[in-house]
Amino acid sequence: MTAPAPERRGSIIRDGLGVGIATGLYGTSFGAVSVGAGLSVAQTCALSLLVFTGASQFALISVLAAGGSAFAAAATAMLLGTRNALYGLRVAPLLGLSGAARFGAAHLLIDESTAMSVTRKTQPDARLGFFVTGGAVFVLWNLFTLLGALAGTALGDPETYGLDAAVGAAFLALLWPHLREPGFRVVAVVAVAVALGVIPIAPAGVPVLAGFAVALVAGLLGRGQR
């Protein structure tokens, strides 16, 4: 395949770094909220290093902060993380990697790196967009997670500064781009209604799983129709 032209290569790198900076800064909120939910700075940083998928990390923390069990928190995070497997089905043949390179790419497989690779017309462009974006997000997300965790430890109770609202804001930010289509809006409304209905009768964490189940069923039905 044709190698990317210097001008295009520079544009891809610039765009990838821009996404990395914007997303990485968001890690500050995660770090602060995580220590506010009871995790240590080391545990918070380990989550960003090993899990490294923002939605799942925020989901785990939100369940723990609401008093849910570790099992419910982990289950919620794992369910949200399953979307990365679907990304892999699309990205793997596009990047054409093998061995250690493929293993390393799997850890960088997130929303942003996927988006910055699938829109490219050549394999070299796709690889460049994927690794620049994924690498930038990984480094900056972990750096700002640490800074946020240290700041959260120094500040104390996150509710005092309104940082407890970061979890809800995170989910809204992740969901918002998908609400442009009427079908997605309907699924979101039904999922919220089910989650709210389950709150009075279920332990913390279960309402999130119930809402996710609605989205999962809707996705399977939609796929069956196609």
- Mean pLDDT per block of 10 residues along the chain (226 residues) reads 61 90 87 87 95 86 79 80 84 90 92 89 91 95 94 70 58 62 78 81 70 71 58
Which residue's structure tokens are 């990047």? 95
- DSSP for 40-61, written as a single string: -HHHHHHHHHHT--HHHHHHHH
Contact 27, 143 (CB under 8 A): yes
pLDDT of 7 reads 45
In this prediction, residue 158 carries a pLDDT of 58
pLDDT of residue 152: 81
- The per-residue pLDDT for 181 is 72
The CA distance from 111 to 130, in Å, is: 10
Look at residue 144 in the predicted model and tell me its pLDDT.
94
Q: What pLDDT, in 10s, does the model give residues 164-189?
A: 555 556 556 556 666 677 777 788 78
Taking the C-alpha atoms of residue 84 and residue 24, their distance in angstroms, rounded to an integer, is 19
